[in-house]
Amino acid sequence: MSRVTVEGVHSEYLFHWFWYTVGEPCGDGAACICCGNPEETSDEFIKWWKRGHLVEMQHRGYRRDEFYHPRDEYKGSDGELIVNYHDSNENFMFCDKEIDLGFGDISFIVTKDCVAFRDGFIIRGLT
């Protein structure tokens, strides 16, 4: 399991690491932010993406104004809540428990709250 423990960093930094972990360099990855509020955190991630990446993608021909992967929400095998924006290659996941994604993919484990610079949104640490 590849795992990064996150304690008290600004959420914008975490979203940046998360985005590039999944999408760069080849765009065929998966990552999960394991935190105390995965639904709200996934919504904030989409807002962050729209502020920083949507315009750039539209300049390159992207024609929509929403995130380019559909959202699913489901329970994992141990009852954990998983929010997943995905296609056949990429998975941007958010979970309320620590999960192992397997070799080469990363779980970002939030152990202490991470507060946003911009609006004070808090990614809650796991309890």
Structural domain that includes position 91: 2-123
> Could you give the CA distance from residue 14 to residue 67 in angstroms, rounded to a whole number?
18
CA-to-CA distance for 94 and 64, rounded, in angstroms? 23
With a CB cutoff of 8 Å and minimum separation 6, the contacts of 70 are 85, 86, 87
Closest CA to 45 of 17, 73, 5: 17
Nearest residue to 69 via CA among 23, 24, 4:
23
Q: Which two tokens stand for residue 125?
A: 């640490």
pLDDT tens track of the chain, all 127 residues? 688 999 999 999 999 999 888 877 665 689 999 999 999 999 999 888 888 777 776 666 666 666 778 899 999 999 999 999 988 788 999 999 999 888 778 899 999 999 998 888 999 999 8
The owner of tokens 């290659």 is 89
Dump strand ranges (E) for 45-98. 71-75, 81-86, 91-95
- Residue 34 and residue 70: Cα distance in Å, rounded? 20
Q: What is the domain count for the chain? A: 1
pTM: 0.88
